[in-house]
Amino acid sequence: MKEYLLSTIRDVKDFPKEGIVFKDITTLLNDPKAFKTLMDHLEERYKSYDLDFVAGIDSRGFIFGSVLADRLGVGFVPIRKAGKLPYTTMGEKYALEYGVDEVEIHIDAFRDKKDAKVLVIDDLIATGGTAKAAVSLVNKAGAKCVEACFVLNLTFLDGASKIESPVYSVLEI
């Protein structure tokens, strides 16, 4: 399964800047067999976790997270870049190579469910800043991040070691 899924991800050289090899998941998404294989695997892994919510990180985490939440019969929570959510939010800042960014969720994202069990999901983990902030934000909102899941982990950047929850990645490079 892993070799097959990796074969559906396109490498784009020098994007977004020279020297970067971007892992383009749109080719996995538009391959119905690959997408179903991935989602079947994630559903099988998480069906026994007794989750209350799946939280997807802006924006590609929304794709995997919303489909997985539907398959598991749980709520979906978007974790967005600052200023994108329409209601009262709480945020978590994280460092970038040059500066600071922030992610936010609605203050009532987990509908006042005490200690809600949440899976955080995104397409890729690289340096880990966004994912670390997302996991922290879920926990600060009164829920518990039981695991952070990534379709692809760029292990040479060691971002998973920064996450303060268990981490699972389907694929590793």
Q: Which residues are designated catalytic?
A: 60, 97
- Secondary element (H or E) of residue 139: helix 129-140
Q: Tell me which amino acid residue 43 is.
A: E
Alpha carbon distance 37, 23 (integer Å):
19
Q: CA angle, 39 as apex, 114 and 127 as ends, to 5°?
A: 70
Alpha carbon distance 144, 153 (integer Å):
22
Residue located via tokens 């749980």 = 74
Alpha carbon distance 112, 127 (integer Å):
32
